[in-house]
Amino acid sequence: MSKETTVSRGRSHIRAAVFGCIATTALVLDQVSKYWALNTLSHGRTIPVLKGLLSLTLVRNPGATLGLGSSMTWLITVLAMVACVAILVLAYKTISMRWTSALALAFAGALGNLIDRIVYADGVLNGKVVDFLDYGWSVGNVADVFLMIAGVAIVILIISAEPFSKAELERQTTQDAHEPAEDERAFHLSEDSNGVLYNEDSIKLVKSAGEEHDGSSNSSQAGAR
């Protein structure tokens, strides 16, 4: 086994550990908060937190965020399962710790709501999510907060061109390696005016300058006569 392979596996294990720690911590926070909400807010109790902005009110949501898809609980449950598997696959493939962290939060959020749909189901795939963070215009939970943070983080990673896979990292490295060569070529071209010629464009440039110089010299000589 090569040293490079050993280092790569070591980093992979670290990323897996980070993913597990973040996902587990976030999932525990979500489930504990929901357990508290079920035991504290079950009788229609509302606890104001920030007047006009946030209160705690228990709501059983059969749909997705903002109550969308309330009549398609089974489909949302299946999509949540697919999302959890897809996130795990992406987390396995990435080489970036930043991507790993964002995916861990996304996984915890998706799994947290999926657990609700399974545990609190009255039949097959018809469970309702425990929501209690009432913003006035929508009611969500801690899992939704993690999903939102993960979504923002992923957008930032995409915009900042954070390499996701080894192939992307190698491609960026290759592009970066070519940039000095272009700068060096531009530097040589700037020296071509001193007689150092490297390509046809430089030669044409010098020839053109020489012809103009000869033409102006001939004109000066004719004027002197």
Query: Which DSSP state fits 195?
Result: T
> Which two structure tokens, joined as six digits, stand for 48?
């104001």
Catalytic annotation present for 144: yes
72 alpha carbon, distance to own chain's centre: 29
> Does the annotation mark 30 as catalytic?
no
CA count, 13 A, side-chain hemisphere, 187: 6
Among the listed residues 70, 65, 74, 85, the one whose alpha carbon sits nearest the alpha carbon of residue 118: 74
From the list 116, 144, 183, 214, the catalytic residue is 144
CA atoms within 13 A on the CB side of 146: 26
Q: State the Cα–Cα distance between residues 147 and 108, nearest whole angstrom.
A: 8
Q: How far apart are CA 77 and CA 35, in angstroms?
A: 20
Share of the chain residues as helix, strand and coil, in percent rounded to the nearest 5: 70, 10, 20
CA-nearest of 63, 67, 108 to 84 is 108
Token match 């949501």: residue?
Answer: 61
Q: Which of 122, 131, 176, 201 is catalytic?
A: 131
Task: Identify which of 106, 117, 96 has the alpha carbon closest to the alpha carbon of residue 153.
Answer: 106
| Beta-strand runs (E) in 85-204 | 129-134, 139-140
Catalytic positions: 131, 144
